[in-house]
C-alpha cells in the first residue's frame, strides 16, 4: 500500500500490526458493524472497541442528501463523530457517488481505494474527477492498497484480498484447503468493469470473521476459491454486488461456510432470485438478512420478514447492526423490528 501524499506507509504498517496484536482478542469491547440502507448501494460502518471507524463506501449522490443523512444517523447511534477511514471499493455511483457530499457532512481522516479509475467512459471519468477534487479540497490522506495489505485501523484486522483486479496469491491464515464445490462449478466471462477491481477485505476480530468483497464479480470470486479456498471459512458474509447474479458463485458461497449473510440490496436493485436461493441453501447458513424485500425475489425467494430491514411500501431507511465480542458469538439487530437474534459461539472453530 502507499500514501499518495507522503511516504508514511512503513510506519503505518508497523503501527497497524502492533495495534492488531494489542486489540485482536476484543478484550474490553465489541466490534460493531452497521449495514446502512442506501437503496441498493453500499455504506457499511465498522466501529472497533478502540473507538476507530471504517466506512466502506458512501452510497449514492443526490437524492437531497438522503444517503449522507442515513450514514450520519448510524454514526450517531454508534457514538462516532468522525470517520477515521473511508474505503471506496470502486468508482461506481452507488459506492462513490455520495463521497463529496459526505465530506461536507462529517469529518473524515483518510481515504482508501484501489488507485486510478479504469472505466474511461464520460460518466466514469466525471465521477472520478469529483472524487479526486473532494479529496484535494479537504487535504485528505489517500491510501492505495493492494492484495495482502493490512489496513492501519486500530482494534480489528482488515486484510485486503482483492484490489484493482488483483487477488491474494497465497491463502490467508486457515485458508488453503481444497474446495470440493469447484467441481463442475459454473464459470462466467471475465468482467472488464470497475466491479472486478473492487477492494475486498476480510475482517478478523478475535474468533469472529467477516468477508466483504464489494461488487467483486463471479470470475474473480472463482479465482479466490478454486481449486483451493484461499479465504478460508467465515462467520458472516456481505453478499457481493447487492445480491446481483453477476456475482455470488455457489462455489465461493458454499466454501465460505458462513452462518450469516447480509445482502445490501434495494427493492429493485440486486436481490436476484437465483442468488437469494444460493445463499439460503448454502451449507452452514443459519440466517440470510436483507436490507430490502427484493421485488424480483418475491415471497418465494426472500428471507422471512423478521430478517428484512425494509419491507414493501414506503421506505423508512431501516438498518441492520451486527455486534461481536470477539469470542465467536455475535448478535444481529433489525432496527425495523427492534429485535435482536443471538448466534452462540460455535462448538468447534469454523475457520
**Is 340 contained in some domain?**
no
In a domain, 290, yes or no: yes
pLDDT surpassing 60 at residue 294: yes
Q: How many domains does the chain have?
A: 1
Q: Give the confidence band of 28 by pLDDT, cuts at 50, 70, 90.
A: low
**C-alpha to C-alpha distance for 178 and 109, rounded to whole angstroms:** 40
* pLDDT tens per residue, range 227-273: 999 999 999 999 999 999 999 999 999 999 999 999 999 999 999 99
- Taking only the tens place, the pLDDT of each residue in 214-236 is 999 999 999 999 999 999 999 99
DSSP 97: T
Domain presence at residue 347? no
- Assigned domain for 351 exists: no
Mean residue pLDDT across the chain? 93
Query: What pLDDT score was predicted for residue 177?
Result: 98
Confirm if 91 and 197 have CB atoms less than 8 A apart. Answer: no
Range of the domain at 36: 2-334
Res 19: pLDDT: 44
Q: How confident is the model at residue 1 (pLDDT cuts 50, 70, 90)?
A: low
- Residue 13 confidence (pLDDT): 43
**Distance, CA of 22 to CA of 18 (rounded, Å):** 6
Please indicate, yes or no, if residue 194 is contained in any of the structural domains: yes
CATH, residue 7: 3.60.15.10
161-180 residue pLDDT tens: 999 999 999 999 999 999 99
Residue 111 placed within a domain = yes
Q: What is the pLDDT of residue 315?
A: 84
Residue 185 lies in a domain: yes
In a domain, 207, yes or no: yes
Query: For residue 271, what are the CA distances in angstroms to 91, 97, 116, 148, 259?
Result: 21, 21, 29, 30, 19
Give the residue among 21, 42, 33, 121 at the shortest CA–CA distance from 333.
33
Amino acid at each position: 500500500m502507499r500514501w499518495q501524499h507522503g511516504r508514511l506507509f512503513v510506519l503505518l504498517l508497523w503501527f497497524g500490526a502492533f495495534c492488531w496484536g494489542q486489540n485482536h482478542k476484543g478484550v474490553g469491547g465489541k466490534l460493531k458493524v452497521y449495514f446502512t440502507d442506501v437503496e441498493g448501494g453500499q455504506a457499511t460502518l465498522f466501529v472497533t472497541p478502540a473507538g476507530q471507524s471504517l466506512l466502506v463506501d458512501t452510497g449514492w449522490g443526490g437524492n437531497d442528501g438522503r444517503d449522507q443523512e442515513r450514514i450520519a444517523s448510524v454514526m450517531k447511534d454508534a457514538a462516532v463523530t468522525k470517520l477515521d477511514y473511508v474505503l471506496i471499493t470502486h468508482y461506481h455511483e452507488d459506492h462513490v457517488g455520495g463521497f463529496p457530499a459526505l465530506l461536507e457532512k462529517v469529518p473524515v481522516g483518510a481515504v482508501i481505494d484501489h488507485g486510478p479509475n479504469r472505466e474511461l467512459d464520460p460518466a466514469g471519468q466525471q465521477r472520478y474527477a469529483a472524487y479526486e477534487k473532494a479529496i484535494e479540497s479537504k487535504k485528505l490522506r489517500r491510501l492505495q492498497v493492494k492484495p495482502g495489505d493490512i489496513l492501519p485501523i486500530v482494534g480489528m484486522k482488515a486484510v485486503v484480498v482483492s484490489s484493482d483486479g488483483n487477488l491474494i496469491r497465497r491463502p490467508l491464515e486457515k485458508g488453503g484447503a481444497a474446495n470440493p464445490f469447484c467441481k463442475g462449478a459454473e464459470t462466467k466471462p471475465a468482467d472488464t468493469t470497475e466491479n472486478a477491481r473492487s477492494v475486498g477485505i476480510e475482517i478478523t476480530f478475535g474468533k469472529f470473521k467477516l468477508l466483504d468483497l464489494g461488487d467483486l464479480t463471479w470470475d474473480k470470486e472463482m479465482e479466490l476459491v478454486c481449486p483451493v479456498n484461499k479465504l478460508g471459512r467465515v462467520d458472516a458474509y456481505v453478499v457481493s454486488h447487492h445480491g446481483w447474479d453477476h456475482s455470488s458463485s455457489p462455489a465461493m458461497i458454499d466454501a465460505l461456510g458462513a452462518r450469516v449473510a447480509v445482502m445490501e440490496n434495494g427493492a429493485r436493485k440486486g436481490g436476484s432470485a437465483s442468488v437469494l436461493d444460493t445463499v439460503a441453501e448454502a451449507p452452514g447458513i443459519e440466517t440470510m438478512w436483507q436490507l430490502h424485500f427484493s421485488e424480483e425475489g418475491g415471497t418465494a425467494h426472500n428471507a422471512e420478514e423478521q430478517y428484512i430491514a425494509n419491507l414493501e411500501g414506503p421506505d423508512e431507511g431501516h438498518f441492520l447492526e451486527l455486534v461481536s465480542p470477539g469470542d465467536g458469538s455475535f448478535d444481529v439487530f433489525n432496527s425495523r423490528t427492534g429485535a435482536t437474534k443471538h448466534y452462540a459461539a460455535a462448538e468447534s472453530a469454523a475457520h
